[in-house]
């Protein structure tokens, strides 16, 4: 963003103001996340920087809260992590399966009432979570699935499918349907065509939809608050309880682990997006 | 030529038109069958339960079922004078049955909602009714307490006869139906919901505005920088986007607390005195700051995707025609970004209006929104029909905005990342 030499002074000043504003906004966006890292290594029980930490005294830092997270007495994080992963994995599988199949139908030009059906399928993403939570709770209570893993998995499938539907339909919008017709004309049956031709081509979209579904489930707290019993506690539930009751630095250790996890997911999602764009021949 | 020969036939001898229609229908069914599993799943587990919320919010069968004989005998009573003996007898029989089934407590709670003072006189009636003699129930009941001889209380019972009610919706707007069936406001000092609705709108509006003001410059920067720099900066937008909501809220709780990093910084720079640290959390400030940062990526991404498509040559053309950079920006660039602004603002507004977690954690009493009230009634007071009514009122608002969004941008154009 170098300025040409002939720029007039007041535009030059304006340009630096603009760069300054942008820097501030980026700082506002990203800095809060980085406060958590150093504080999670705090040797003391406080959630602010101790004098020792400000002077970079090595004794002021410790892995105490990470140890507490893993080995702590009556610590809920082990069970919560196990539950979170089990629920998120099954919810992702369910969302991807239902969402991809539905997206295939929606992308067909023969699909009747496309707008209405699309609106229905996307609705869990638009409706405020608290309302979804109430509605899903009423259903699960009637079906006898409240406070069960099955109930939470089903709830997360509801919330996760819109993301899969959107990403897969987007991938299919650039899809050249003559390849499937070519496969059919060469004698392939529809299932074989899907597995051998369509799926490999839309796979990046499917996976990135799956990532969205996974993160949605892994991070979801409103609906689980209504549904979960003591046995079904998840990481977000534990964090929510911890943040409401007492802010212990153990939460920061967990938060640091979650930030690392989300960085990994972000990198995967970005790589997939670029691959998908390459496959669809979009060059930017 | 006759029309017979004009019809084109397929090799099977069927007219082409018929054959084509058949094939089309087959394709339609095929496409629909692919969507059917998800559609069915959502209808059963999601759409119908929202309908169920609607039923619950207007449902008032509880009292109707508890006092069947009373309401039947009340049909003929016009409500002007004291009800006749048969009403008293029916009420006595209904009430005795409830006492036997130990459901009289529920009745007294319900009737107390309609008119204050029922709780104590029902308790008294329960004690005295054991020794009632057969016949002439009117006098015996009226002798229990002077309120039983007050026609107002009998009218209050009659008001609970219908199986459906709009009272929960009225309560959500701080209104109620008075004795004459007119809709009136509740007393000034008991109006809590209207304040909440207004606050929800206010916070959603200003969060949207703040997000827009912050997102516009950085989306512009991201769209105009060379790829290798913008990709790097994009991470600053995407990392918060992918990070757990609770982690981001936790970091704001650490930053904004009284002994927190932001306050430490203010003290260090001498902006505030050490013993006079401002409260930045558990009030509106906390809600504003945290929600703006959390929702900012949802504004940046649509703006960025629109700005990316604007050719830089348009700005150069504007300048070469004599426009100053500001004029060119205002007359050429800005109008082209309006679709992105619309998409981003509506998205952020819809998300903000239904926010629950962040206000509950950093909002305190003055920074909570309507969602928190719904959760409160779901979990604490267990008044599920009222929670449903409030939820549906919020949903109606969101759907209206969504409809506008769909008209302006189209749901097919929602992009993720």
Tokens of residue B101, six digits: 């089934």
Structural domain includes residue A183: yes
B35–A105: do the CB atoms touch at under 8 Å? yes
What gap in Å lies between CA B198 and CA B211, rounded to an integer?
20
Task: Give residue B66's pLDDT.
Answer: 86
Does the pLDDT at position A4 exceed 90? no
B378–A134: do the CB atoms touch at under 8 Å? yes
Nearest-Cα residue of chain A relative to residue B216: A22
Of A25, A33, A121, A206, which to mutate for an interface test with B (greatest number of B Cβ within 10 Å)?
A25
Of A85-94, A130-139, B185-194, the least confident: B185-194
Task: Give residue B85's pLDDT.
Answer: 85
Q: Report the share of chain B in percent with pLDDT over 70.
A: 96
Q: Write the pLDDT tens digit of every residue in B156-185.
A: 888 888 888 888 888 888 888 776 777 888
Does the pLDDT at position B86 exceed 50? yes
Q: What does pLDDT average to over chain A?
A: 86
Nearest-Cα residue of chain B relative to residue A24: B214
Residue A214 is part of which domain span? 79-279
Going by the DSSP 8-state scheme, the letter that residue B244 receives in this structure is: -
Go through the domains of chain B in sequence order and give each one's CATH number.
3-58 (no CATH), 61-163 (no CATH), 193-413 (1.10.3720.10)
CA A167 remoteness from chain centre: 13
Does the pLDDT at position A89 exceed 90? yes
More confident residue, B356 or B61: B356
Does the pLDDT at position B391 exceed 90? yes
- pLDDT tier for residue A74 given thresholds of 50, 70 and 90: low
Does the pLDDT at position B3 exceed 60? no
What gap in Å lies between CA B213 and CA A13, rounded to an integer?
20
> In CATH, what number is assigned to the domain containing residue A167?
1.10.3720.10
Query: Contact, B366 vs B285, CB < 8 A?
Result: no
Structural domain includes residue A141: yes
What is the nearest CA distance from B169 to chain A, expressed in angstroms? 16
Find chain B residues with C-beta within 8 A of A26's C-beta: 218, 233, 236
Structural domain includes residue A284: no
Does the pLDDT at position A85 exceed 90? yes
Of B218, B245, B251, the CB nearest to A26: B218
Structural domain includes residue A179: yes
- A218 close contact with B: CB closer than 8 A: yes
A266–B239: do the CB atoms touch at under 8 Å? yes
Closest alpha carbon to B355 in B373, B369, B374, B375: B369
Does the pLDDT at position A98 exceed 60? yes
- A48 close contact with B: CB closer than 8 A: yes
What gap in Å lies between CA A166 and CA A51, rounded to an integer?
50
Task: Give residue A236's pLDDT.
Answer: 92
What gap in Å lies between CA B402 and CA B132, rounded to an integer?
61
Does the pLDDT at position A193 exceed 60? yes
More confident residue, A21 or B4: A21
Tokens of residue B84, six digits: 């006749």
Q: Kindly tell me the burial class for residue B189, based on how many C-beta atoms sit within 10 Å of its own C-beta (0-12, 13-18, 19 or more).
A: exposed
- A35 close contact with B: CB closer than 8 A: yes
Task: Give residue A102's pLDDT.
Answer: 94
Q: What does pLDDT average to over chain B?
A: 85
Task: Give residue B212's pLDDT.
Answer: 96
Q: Report the share of chain B in percent with pLDDT over 90.
A: 20
Helices (H), A108-148: 114-126, 129-143
Does the pLDDT at position A283 exceed 50? no
As for how many domains chain A has, the answer is 1
In sequence order, which residues have a C-beta less than 8 Å from that of residue A276 and are 6 or more positions away?
A171, A204, A205, A208
Q: Kindly tell me the burial class for residue B53, based on how many C-beta atoms sit within 10 Å of its own C-beta (0-12, 13-18, 19 or more).
A: buried
Q: What is the pTM of this model?
A: 0.84
Does the pLDDT at position B5 exceed 80? no
A269–B417: do the CB atoms touch at under 8 Å? yes
Task: Give residue B123's pLDDT.
Answer: 86
Of A32, A116, A217, which to mutate for an interface test with B (greatest number of B Cβ within 10 Å)?
A32
- The Cβ-side half-sphere exposure at B338, using a 13 Å CA radius, reads 6
- A237 close contact with B: CB closer than 8 A: no
A118–B417: do the CB atoms touch at under 8 Å? no
- pLDDT tier for residue B2 given thresholds of 50, 70 and 90: very low
What is the nearest CA distance from B64 to chain A, expressed in angstroms? 23
Nearest-Cα residue of chain A relative to residue B326: A11
A33–B247: do the CB atoms touch at under 8 Å? yes
Helices (H), chain A: 9-40, 51-54, 64-71, 77-107, 114-126, 129-143, 149-173, 178-185, 190-193, 199-219, 222-227, 235-244, 249-279
Of B106-110, B181-185, B200-204, the least confident: B181-185
Q: Kindly state the average pLDDT of the residues B139-167.
A: 83
- A25 close contact with B: CB closer than 8 A: yes
What gap in Å lies between CA A237 and CA A239, rounded to an integer?
5
Q: Kindly state the average pLDDT of the residues A116-144.
A: 91
Structural domain includes residue A254: yes
Structural domain includes residue A162: yes
Of A28, A29, A165, A168, which to mutate for an interface test with B (greatest number of B Cβ within 10 Å)?
A29
- Whole-complex ipTM: 0.86
Tokens of residue B311, six digits: 């050719």
More confident residue, B251 or B75: B251
Query: Contact, B369 vs B390, CB < 8 A?
Result: no
Structural domain includes residue A31: no
Does the pLDDT at position B4 exceed 70? no
Structural domain includes residue A13: no
Find chain B residues with C-beta within 8 A of A19's C-beta: 221
Does the pLDDT at position B294 exceed 90? yes
Task: Give residue B413's pLDDT.
Answer: 55
């Amino acid at each position: 963003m170098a300025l040409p030499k002939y720029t007039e002074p007041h535009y030059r000043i304006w340009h630096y103001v603009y760069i300054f504003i942008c820097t501030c906004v980026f700082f506002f966006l990203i800095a809060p996340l980085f406060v958590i890292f150093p504080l999670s290594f705090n040797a003391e029980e406080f959630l602010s920087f101790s004098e020792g930490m400000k002077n970079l005294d090595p004794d002021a830092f410790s892995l105490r809260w990470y140890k507490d997270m893993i080995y702590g007495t009556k610590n809920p994080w082990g069970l919560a992590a196990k539950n979170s992963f089990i629920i998120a994995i099954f919810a992702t599988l369910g969302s991807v399966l239902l969402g991809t199949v539905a997206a295939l139908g929606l992308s067909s030009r023969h699909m009747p009432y496309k707008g209405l059906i699309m609106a229905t399928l996307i609705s869990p993403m638009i409706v405020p979570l608290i309302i979804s939570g109430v509605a899903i709770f009423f259903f699960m209570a009637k079906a006898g699935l409240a406070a069960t893993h099955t109930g939470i998995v089903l709830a997360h499938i509801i919330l996760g499918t819109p993301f899969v539907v959107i990403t897969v339909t987007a991938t299919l919008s650039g899809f050249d349907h003559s390849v499937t017709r070519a496969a059919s004309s060469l004698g392939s049956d529809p299932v074989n065509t899907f597995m051998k031709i369509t799926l490999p081509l839309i796979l990046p979209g499917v996976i990135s939809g799956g990532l969205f579904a996974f993160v949605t489930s892994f991070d979801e707290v409103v609906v689980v608050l209504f549904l979960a019993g003591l046995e079904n506690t998840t990481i977000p539930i534990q964090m929510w309880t911890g943040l409401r009751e007492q802010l212990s630095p153990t939460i920061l250790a967990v938060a640091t682990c979650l930030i690392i996890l989300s960085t990994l997911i972000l990198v995967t999602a970005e790589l997939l997006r670029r691959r998908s764009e390459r496959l669809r021949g979009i060059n930017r | 030529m006759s029309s017979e020969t004009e019809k084109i036939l397929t090799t099977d001898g069927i007219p082409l038109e018929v054959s084509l229609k058949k094939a089309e229908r087959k394709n339609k069914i095929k496409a629909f069958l692919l969507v059917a599993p998800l559609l069915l799943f959502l209808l059963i587990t999601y759409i119908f339960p929202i309908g169920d919320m609607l039923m619950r919010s207007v449902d008032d069968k509880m009292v109707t079922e508890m006092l069947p004989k009373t309401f039947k005998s009340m049909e003929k009573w016009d409500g002007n004078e004291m009800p006749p003996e048969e009403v008293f007898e029916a009420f006595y029989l209904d009430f005795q049955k409830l006492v036997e089934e130990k459901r009289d407590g529920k009745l007294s709670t319900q009737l107390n909602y309609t008119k204050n003072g029922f709780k104590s006189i029902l308790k008294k009636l329960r004690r005295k009714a054991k020794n009632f003699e057969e016949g002439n129930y009117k006098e015996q009941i009226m002798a229990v307490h002077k309120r039983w001889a007050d026609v107002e209380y009998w009218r209050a019972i009659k008001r609970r006869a219908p199986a459906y009610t709009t009272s929960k919706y009225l309560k959500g707007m701080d209104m109620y139906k008075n004795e004459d069936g007119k809709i009136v406001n509740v007393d000034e000092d008991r109006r809590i919901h209207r304040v909440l609705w207004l606050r929800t709108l206010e916070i959603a509006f200003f969060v949207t505005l703040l997000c827009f003001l912050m997102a516009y410059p950085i989306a512009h920067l991201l769209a105009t920088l060379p790829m290798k720099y913008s990709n790097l900066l994009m991470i600053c937008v995407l990392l918060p986007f992918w990070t757990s909501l609770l982690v981001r809220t936790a970091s704001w709780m650490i930053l904004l607390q009284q002994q927190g990093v932001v306050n430490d910084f203010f003290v260090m720079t001498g902006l505030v005195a050490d013993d006079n640290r401002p409260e930045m959390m558990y009030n509106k400030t906390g809600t504003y700051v945290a929600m703006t940062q959390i929702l900012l990526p949802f504004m940046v991404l649509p703006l960025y995707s629109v700005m990316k498509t604007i050719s830089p040559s348009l700005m150069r053309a504007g300048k070469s025609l004599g426009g100053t950079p500001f004029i060119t920006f205002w007359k050429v660039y800005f109008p082209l970004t309006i679709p992105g602004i619309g998409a981003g603002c509506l998205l952020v507004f819809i998300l903000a209006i239904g926010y629950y977690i962040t206000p509950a954690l950093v909002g305190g009493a003055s920074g909570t929104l309507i969602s928190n009230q719904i959760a409160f009634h779901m979990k604490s007071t267990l008044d599920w029909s009222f929670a449903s009514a409030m939820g549906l009122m919020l949903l109606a608002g969101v759907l209206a905005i969504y409809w506008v969004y769909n008209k302006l941008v189209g749901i097919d154009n929602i992009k993720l990342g």
